[in-house]
C-alpha cells in the first residue's frame, strides 16, 4: 500500500505541556487508519497540525511524496485534506446549504443541487434548506461529511464521528466510509470506541501522553489488548454486583415539561420508580431530552408537585435546595458553566452544592469547606490535589471525579447524574463508575443518564431509553441486547 | 413646504430617520459579525463635528461627509484595536468610546459654535417632485437620504447573497467554528467595526449638515442610543432597520410638531417611546418560541482568541 500522508517526528509544545513529541504516522492510499488515545494524549493537536490550524515546532509532513506544511485550513483543503469535526463546526442559525458553502473555498453555482446529488449518491439524506439547529446529531454529521466530500478530498479526517450517533446511524456511517475507501479515499479515524475500530480500520496508531505508543492491525488484536495499549496500565473495571431492589425512593409520574432550548425536545409523560440500591440507566442519543430530564429532577425546572415524589413527598414544584435537603442530589452534564464555575477554586465549587453543612448562620466556615474539598480530592484521587486550584485548570477527567465526589460525599439518597463519563479518559471513567456502584451498594438509588451504551450495560440494573422526550418502560438490563436498545433509541420521534 | 401638515410630517419623518438609519445599519453589520459596539453615540458626534468642520472649511458638503466618515472610522478603529487585539471588554470600551467621542467632538467644535452651516439642496428629481403626495414626501430630499437607503439595500444583499456576507454571519454566530473553517475572524470583525464607524460618522454628519444644520455641543442627543435600540428592534435584519428608523424617526418628527403646537409634555413621552418599543420588541422576540425567530448573533459581545 502506497503512503498518502507521512508525518515524521512532529513535535508541538505548549507552555508547560508537550502536546506531541516526535510523533510519526503513515496513512496509506485507500486506508482507514485509526488514531487512538485517551483524552489529552495529543490526538486533536496532531489533527489540527494536519489541517493547518496549528503549526508544529519541528518535524515534517509529506503528502503524496511532496513536502506538506499547510499555513491554514484553506491550504490544507486545496491540498486535498478534508475534516469532519466533532464539535464547534456547524452554525445553528444558518441553513444546510450555507453551512456547506462555508466549508468550501468557492461556492459552486448550483450548491443545493450538488448537495442533493452527493447525499443521494452516498445515502446521506439531507435537505439543503433546513436550519442546522433543527437537525439531529446524525443529520448534523451528514452535513459535515457532505461538506467534506463536495471538495473531493484525498484524505478525510474524522474526529470521534460516532460519539453522538445511535447504533443504526453508526452502521450507516460505516457503510459510507467503506464505500469511500473502495473508491480510493484515505480516512484518518479518531475514536474512543475500540469495537468499531476493530471492525472498520485497517491499521491503528496509538498515542499516549503525546508519544506514539504503538501501531497495530486492529482486526488481529482483541479489544482488551488495544485498550491496554491505549491506557498503558491495567485498569480496574467495576465488579459485577447483585441487585436486590429496596423500597421506592423516587417516583416520577406523568412528568411533562417544555424545553428552554428552542431546538430541544419537551418531556412527555415520563414515569419511572427508583428503588433503594438500584442503578437505573437512561440511554438515548444526545438532544432527546436528557438535559430537560436532569433539570426536572434536580429542581432547576419546576413541574406539577405530584410529578416527582421523593420518599412519598411531592417535590415537583420545589427548587434544588429543598430537594437536596431531602437527599435528592443531581450532577449535570456540562462540567464548566453548569456543574462548576470555571474561575472558582475547587473549595468554592464544593461549597456551591455542599454549603448546607459548611456554614454557620450564613457565614462560610472556610476551614470545614477546605477539609470537605480535601476529602473529595483524597477519596477520588483528584489530581493535582490542590483545593485552591481553579476549576478551569483541571483536566476533564479530574474535574469530573471531583464534581461527582462532591455529591457522593454529601451522602445522597437519590443521585441523578447526566453523562458521568463523557469526555473522560478510561481510568477516570472506571473510577467514577465504581463510585456510583458503591453508592448504590450502600442503599442509595442512582439514575445514570448516558449516551454510552456500553457504560449503561455495564453498571445499570434497570434500563430505559429516552427518545424525543419520551421514556420507554423500565426493564431489567440483563437480557436486553444492544439491537433492542438501538430500536428504542429511534423512538416514536425518529431522529435519523 | 406643503399644503397638508401630514405630508410635512411624513417628509420630516424621513429626514429624522436618516441619521439613525445610517448609524443603525452600520451597527447591524458590526453586531452581525459578533461585536457589540456601544460607542455609536460617540462615533456619531465625532462624525457630526468632522463633517461640519470640513464642509465649512472647504465649502464642500461631499468633502464634509468624507471627513465625517473618516472621523467615525478613526474612532471605530480605536475600538477595534482595543477589543480585537488588546482583548478589552467590549461593553466597557464601547461606553468609554461614547464618552471620549463626546469630549473630542466638543474640543474640535469650539471654534464652530454658532456658525451657520451651508445649505444642502435637494436632488433634482425633475417631474417626480410633482407627483401628488409621493412627491413632497419622497422625492424632494437631499442625496444622503437616497444613499442611506442604497446602503441598506447593499447590506441586505451582501449579507444574504454573497460569500463575504455568509462568512461575516458565520463569524457572528460561532467564531470558533468559523475559525476552524479558515475564516479570518479578527480581520473580518475589524472591517465590520470600521464600516460601522463610517456609517455612524455619516449619520452624525447628516445632523450637522442637513437636519439642523449647525454645530452644537452634544447635538446627537441620544441618536446613537436610538440606533443601538433600533438594531435590536429590527431583529438584526437590514430591512427591519429601515422600518424601525421610519417609525422612530416619525416619533421624533411628531414630537417636534407637537412642541411647535405647544403640547410640550406629550413630547417627553414621545421621546421615551423608541426605548419602550424596543423593550416590547425584545420581549416579543424572546418570548416567541418560534424557531428561526430573529435573534441576536450567538457570539455577540464575546471575545475571540485563536488557539495556535
By the 8 A CB rule, do B102 and B45 touch? Answer: yes
Distances (CA, A) of A170 to A126, A177, A285, B123, B191: 16, 10, 12, 65, 42
Minimum-distance CB partner of B177 among A88, A133, A134: A88
If DSSP codes are grouped into helix, strand and coil, which group holds residue A452?
coil
Give ipTM to 2 decimals: 0.76
Mutate to test the interface with B, among A102, A144, A264, A266 (most CBs of B within 10 A): A102
User: In this complex, do A262 and B293 lie within 8 Å of one another by their Cβ atoms?
Assistant: yes
If DSSP codes are grouped into helix, strand and coil, which group holds residue B213?
coil
Q: Name the residue ranges covered by the structural domains of chain A.
A: 3-231, 248-489
B295 touches chain A (CB under 8 A): yes
CB atoms within 10 A of CB A98: 19
Q: Concatenated DSSP letters for A243-296?
A: ----SEEEEEEEEEE--SSTTSPPEEEEEEEEETT-EEEEE--TTSSHHHHHHH
Identical fold for domains A3-231 and A248-489, yes or no, is yes
If DSSP codes are grouped into helix, strand and coil, which group holds residue A187?
strand
Backbone angles phi, psi at B164, to 5 degrees: -60, -40
User: Which grid coordinates are listed for B149?
Assistant: 437607503
**pLDDT the model gives residue B204:** 96
pTM listed for this prediction: 0.72
**pLDDT the model gives residue B227:** 93
**pLDDT the model gives residue B292:** 44
**pLDDT the model gives residue A36:** 87
* Residue position matching grid coordinates 438500584: A278
Question: Looking at chain A, which residue has its C-alpha nearest residue B181?
Answer: A103
Please calculate the CA angle B33-B35-B38 and round it to the nearest 5 degrees.
135
User: Which grid coordinates are listed for A473?
Assistant: 418502560
Distances (CA, A) of B17 to A330, B95, B146, B205, B232: 53, 24, 12, 13, 16
By the 8 A CB rule, do A396 and A335 touch? Answer: yes
Distance CA A397, CA A384 (A): 12
B92 touches chain A (CB under 8 A): no
**What are chain B's domains?**
5-115+137-292 (1.10.3470)
Torsion angle (degrees, nearest 10) of CA A479, A481, A484, A487: 160
Minimum-distance CB partner of A73 among B170, B176, B181: B181
E strands in A37-185:
58-63, 66-67, 81-84, 155-159
Cα B196 to the chain's mean position, in Å? 8
**pLDDT the model gives residue B1:** 43
CATH code at A248-489: 3.40.50.300
CATH superfamily of A3-231: P-loop containing nucleotide triphosphate hydrolases (3.40.50.300)
Distances (CA, A) of A253 to A78, A257, A273: 56, 12, 8
Distance CA A273, CA A372 (A): 32
User: Which grid coordinates are listed for B291?
Assistant: 424557531
CB atoms within 10 A of CB B38: 21
By the 8 A CB rule, do B304 and B179 touch? Answer: yes
**pLDDT the model gives residue B170:** 93
Nearest residue to A76 (alpha-carbon basis) of A140, A1, A157: A157
Backbone angles phi, psi at A272, to 5 degrees: -165, 160
Nearest residue to A323 (alpha-carbon basis) of A259, A415, A258, A417: A415
Residues A55-83 as b or e (16 or more Cβ within 10 Å = b): ebeebebbbeeeebbbeebebbbebbbbb
Tens of pLDDT along chain B (308 residues) come to: 445 578 888 999 999 999 999 999 999 999 999 999 999 999 999 999 999 999 999 999 999 999 999 999 999 999 999 999 999 999 999 999 999 999 999 999 999 998 887 788 888 888 888 888 888 888 889 999 999 999 999 999 999 989 999 999 999 998 988 888 888 999 999 999 999 999 999 999 999 999 888 999 999 988 999 999 899 888 899 999 999 999 989 888 888 888 777 776 677 787 788 778 777 876 776 665 444 455 788 888 888 877 65
CB contacts, 8 Å: B300 with chain A: none
User: In this complex, do A91 and B308 lie within 8 Å of one another by their Cβ atoms?
Assistant: no
Please calculate the CA angle A93-A99-A105 and round it to the nearest 5 degrees.
140
User: In this complex, do B292 and A131 lie within 8 Å of one another by their Cβ atoms?
Assistant: yes
Question: Looking at chain A, which residue has its C-alpha nearest residue B162?
Answer: A107
**pLDDT the model gives residue A440:** 92
Distance CA B188, CA B194 (A): 10
CB atoms within 10 A of CB B273: 16
CB atoms within 10 A of CB A93: 20
**pLDDT the model gives residue A235:** 47
CB contacts, 8 Å: A102 with chain B: 166-167, 170, 178, 181, 183
Please calculate the CA angle B187-B192-B197 and round it to the nearest 5 degrees.
125
What are the residue ranges in chain A where pLDDT is below 50?
Answer: 234-235, 491-496
Distance CA B74, CA B197 (A): 7
Amino acid at each position: 500500500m502506497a503512503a498518502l500522508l507521512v508525518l515524521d517526528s512532529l513535535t508541538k509544545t505548549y507552555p508547560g505541556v508537550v502536546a506531541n513529541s516526535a510523533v510519526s504516522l503513515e496513512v496509506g492510499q485507500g486506508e482507514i487508519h485509526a488514531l487512538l488515545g485517551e483524552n489529552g494524549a495529543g490526538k486533536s493537536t496532531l489533527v489540527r497540525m494536519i489541517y493547518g490550524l496549528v503549526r508544529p515546532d519541528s518535524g515534517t509532513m509529506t503528502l503524496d511524496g511532496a513536502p506538506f506544511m499547510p499555513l491554514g485550513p484553506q491550504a490544507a483543503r486545496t491540498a486535498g485534506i478534508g475534516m469532519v469535526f466533532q464539535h464547534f463546526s456547524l452554525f445553528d442559525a444558518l441553513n444546510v446549504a450555507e453551512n456547506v458553502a462555508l466549508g468550501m473555498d468557492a461556492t459552486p453555482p448550483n450548491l443545493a443541487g450538488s448537495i442533493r446529488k452527493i447525499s443521494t449518491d452516498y445515502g446521506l439524506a439531507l435537505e439543503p434548506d433546513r436550519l442546522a439547529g433543527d437537525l439531529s446529531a446524525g443529520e448534523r454529521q451528514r452535513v459535515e461529511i457532505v461538506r467534506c466530500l463536495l471538495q473531493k478530498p484525498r484524505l478525510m479526517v474524522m474526529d470521534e464521528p460516532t460519539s453522538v450517533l445511535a447504533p443504526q446511524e453508526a452502521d450507516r456511517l460505516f457503510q459510507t466510509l467503506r464505500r469511500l475507501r473502495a473508491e480510493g479515499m484515505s480516512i484518518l479515524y479518531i475514536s474512543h470506541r475500540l469495537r468499531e475500530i476493530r471492525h472498520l480500520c485497517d491499521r491503528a496508531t496509538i498515542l499516549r501522553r503525546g508519544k506514539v505508543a504503538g501501531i497495530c492491525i486492529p482486526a488481529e488484536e482483541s479489544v482488551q489488548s488495544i485498550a491496554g495499549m491505549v491506557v498503558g496500565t491495567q485498569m480496574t473495571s467495576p465488579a459485577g454486583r447483585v441487585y436486590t431492589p429496596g423500597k421506592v425512593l423516587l417516583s416520577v409520574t406523568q412528568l411533562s415539561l417544555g424545553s428552554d432550548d428552542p431546538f430541544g425536545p419537551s418531556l412527555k409523560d415520563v414515569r419511572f420508580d427508583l428503588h433503594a440500591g438500584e442503578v437505573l440507566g437512561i440511554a438515548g442519543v444526545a438532544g432527546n431530552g436528557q438535559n430537560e430530564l436532569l433539570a426536572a429532577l434536580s429542581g432547576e425546572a419546576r413541574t406539577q408537585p405530584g410529578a416527582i415524589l421523593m420518599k412519598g413527598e411531592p417535590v415537583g414544584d420545589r427548587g434544588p435546595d429543598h430537594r437536596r435537603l431531602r437527599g435528592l442530589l443531581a450532577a449535570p452534564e456540562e462540567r464548566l458553566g453548569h456543574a462548576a464555575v470555571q474561575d472558582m477554586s475547587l473549595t468554592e465549587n464544593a461549597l456551591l452544592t455542599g454549603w448546607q453543612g459548611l456554614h454557620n448562620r450564613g457565614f462560610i466556615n472556610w476551614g470545614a469547606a477546605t477539609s470537605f474539598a480535601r476529602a473529595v480530592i483524597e477519596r477520588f484521587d483528584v489530581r493535582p490535589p490542590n483545593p485552591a486550584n481553579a476549576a478551569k485548570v483541571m483536566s476533564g477527567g479530574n474535574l469530573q471525579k471531583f464534581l461527582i465526589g462532591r455529591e457522593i460525599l454529601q451522602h445522597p439518597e437519590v443521585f441523578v447524574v447526566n453523562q458521568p463519563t463523557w469526555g473522560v479518559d478510561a481510568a477516570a471513567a472506571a473510577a467514577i463508575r465504581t463510585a456510583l456502584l458503591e453508592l448504590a451498594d450502600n442503599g442509595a438509588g442512582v439514575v445514570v443518564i448516558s449516551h454510552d451504551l456500553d457504560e449503561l450495560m455495564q453498571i445499570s440494573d434497570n434500563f430505559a431509553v429516552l427518545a424525543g422526550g419520551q421514556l420507554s418502560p423500565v426493564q431489567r438490563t440483563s437480557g436486553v441486547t444492544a439491537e433492542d436498545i438501538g430500536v428504542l433509541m429511534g423512538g416514536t420521534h425518529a431522529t435519523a | 413646504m406643503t399644503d397638508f401638515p401630514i405630508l410635512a410630517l411624513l417628509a420630516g419623518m424621513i429626514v429624522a430617520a436618516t441619521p439613525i438609519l445610517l448609524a443603525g445599519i452600520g451597527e447591524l453589520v458590526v453586531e452581525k459579525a459578533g461585536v457589540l459596539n456601544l460607542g455609536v453615540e460617540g462615533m456619531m458626534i465625532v462624525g457630526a463635528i468632522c463633517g461640519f468642520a470640513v464642509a465649512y472649511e472647504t465649502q464642500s458638503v461631499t468633502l464634509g461627509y468624507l471627513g465625517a466618515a473618516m472621523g467615525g472610522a478613526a474612532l471605530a478603529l480605536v475600538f477595534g484595536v482595543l477589543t480585537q487585539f488588546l482583548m478589552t471588554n467590549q461593553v466597557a470600551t464601547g461606553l468609554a468610546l461614547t464618552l471620549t467621542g463626546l469630549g473630542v467632538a466638543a474640543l474640535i467644535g469650539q471654534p464652530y459654535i454658532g456658525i451657520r452651516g451651508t445649505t444642502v439642496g435637494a436632488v433634482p428629481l425633475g417631474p417626480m417632485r410633482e407627483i401628488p403626495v409621493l412627491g413632497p414626501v419622497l422625492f424632494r430630499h437631499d442625496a444622503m437620504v437616497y444613499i442611506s437607503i442604497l446602503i441598506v439595500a447593499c447590506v441586505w444583499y451582501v449579507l444574504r447573497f454573497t460569500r463575504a456576507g455568509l462568512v461575516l454571519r458565520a463569524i457572528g454566530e460561532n467564531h470558533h467554528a468559523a475559525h476552524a473553517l479558515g475564516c479570518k475572524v479578527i480581520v473580518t470583525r475589524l472591517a465590520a467595526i470600521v464600516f460601522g464607524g463610517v456609517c455612524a460618522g455619516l449619520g452624525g454628519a447628516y445632523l450637522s449638515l442637513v437636519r439642523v444644520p449647525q454645530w452644537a455641543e452634544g447635538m446627537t442627543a441620544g441618536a446613537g442610543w436610538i440606533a443601538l435600540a433600533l438594531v435590536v428592534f429590527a431583529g438584526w435584519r437590514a430591512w427591519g432597520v429601515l422600518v424601525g428608523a421610519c417609525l422612530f424617526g416619525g416619533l421624533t418628527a411628531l414630537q417636534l410638531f407637537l412642541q411647535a403646537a405647544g403640547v410640550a409634555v406629550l413630547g417627553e413621552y414621545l421621546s421615551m417611546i423608541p426605548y419602550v418599543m424596543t423593550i416590547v420588541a425584545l420581549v416579543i422576540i424572546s418570548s416567541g418560541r418560534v424557531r428561526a425567530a430573529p435573534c441576536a448573533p450567538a457570539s455577540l459581545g464575546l471575545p475571540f482568541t485563536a488557539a495556535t
